[in-house]
Structure 1
Amino acid sequence: MKILYFTATGNSLYIAKSIGGELYSIPQMVKEDIYEFTNEKIGIVFPLHAWSVPPYIVDFLKKAKFNCEYLFAVVTYGIYSGAVAKHLSDIADEAGFRFSYISRIKMVDNYLPTFDMEKEIAKEPKKKIEQQLEAVKSDITASKEGTLKENFLDKAAMNYMFRRDGKPFSEKRLKVHVVGEGIENYIYVEDSCVQCGVCASVCPVNNIEMDAKNGKISLSDKCFMCFACIHNCPSNAIHIKGEVSNARFRNNHVTLKELIHSNNQM
């Protein structure tokens, strides 16, 4: 079994490791231009963004070719998963493949503009993550077929988050900040930055560089709001406008070294 995953704060990596099999980082595969995968079972594990599949994962799936008998997806999310199964199925239809199984696991929500991380971490035991995980693992072991049951309201919520051109609201909002305000005015760096390079190392799209001139970091326009840089900054120097608190999150089953390996090791 092969598991392709993307992770920013470790939630999806923990799920991928727990399911088992050979792990392949999607950012590494993209950087190495590898899009064809062969195995009896292949899985995709990633976090939900704005009730939908992140644009980065959408682009990867549209280019990917899966040679397998059983293709599954497990989505990690915090509060509400919308109609992510329909979104995934639509992407698969367009790309010419089919998911045998789509499921989800409710975990700590790390979306900084909305949630206080201290409060979200305190809620973690109530989410019974291990029980959810065991159920999903059992389904995959048994090669269970099926996807999430989603109703009209779930699909309406997903449609609300999309523009007429089919791109998610999260991407629309990001383009406003990147093209309009400039990403450097949306994600900003305080003087406590010591240029340790961790942010650049965990960024999956090589969007961050050290700027020796001003002693801080330089942000480009490839950001898709995964917040890996913010959550993993050892100095807590990177912030986003509108964040609820200064608290940060990393899954306690995953190390910083693993995140760096996942997102930026060639």
Structure 2
Amino acid sequence: MPSWNDEETSSEEECKVVSMDMGLIEEPYTIVKPLFYGQLELAQPKCILHQMRPIKRVAFEGIVTGRHFYGCPIQENGVNCGVVEWVDGPWPPVLQRCLSKLWEMFHEQNCGRVLDKEKFEKELAKLKCEHERELAKLKMENDKLCIEYTRLVDDVSKMFDWRDGRVDKKVYQKQVEEEELEKKKKEELEEKAMLEVQMENLKLAKEQRCILQSQADIIKNTRKAMKDVEVDIDVLKKEKAKIELVVAESLKDGYGSKEKLEKIKAILES
């Protein structure tokens, strides 16, 4: 059990200090506890590197969770020399195992939340991208409709001006002809661009057919060469069989001549 009383006010000088390890110990993560907070008022102990009065802290990490200790006062800027002294002794093994299991469960859940967050961010980015594409498409359609609307308004305005006699018929006719000519030129340019695209596609298709034909010729020539090689291999096998037969007969004749020479030699020696 912890060696402090939750009902204490400021009598921290009378707190019993349990020094576990006076060496350099890495300071764990901590939490703020109002009844155990601030700088130690006693002259001793002091931190190892700075020789300064430590501050009261409560550990919040692993199997030391909840243990009171005196820590180095240098927290942000500079080198923190870790735990000066532990106020509480180590927890019982059962409690340590429980704390370890709880922290393990916490880290697993935290990891799951991180993965869920990453998945949510990916889905959000995907939806945002799709929304931007749809927005750009709608903007293009809106711009096109605005152009068409402006053109229609101009045409209607010109038609009313011509009807009311505020515009000369010849001028109006000339404007109409110019607009028709411009429209025709625009259509011709679009047709020309379309023809160029079709010619380019035909060129690519022709090149692709040439490549496919070349590949077919290569495959055909390769198969023919393989057939010729197979025929040559069959001829060589037949020649090899004939040579082996001749060699066998020659060896047989040689063995017979050897036997005759041995008999003649035996007669001569007798």
Answer whether TM exceeds 0.5 for this pair: no
Q: TM class, shorter-chain normalised?
A: under 0.3
Q: Which has the higher contact order (CA 8 A, sep 6+)?
A: 1
Higher fraction of helix:
2
Q: TM-score when scaled to structure 1?
A: 0.21
Larger radius of gyration: 2
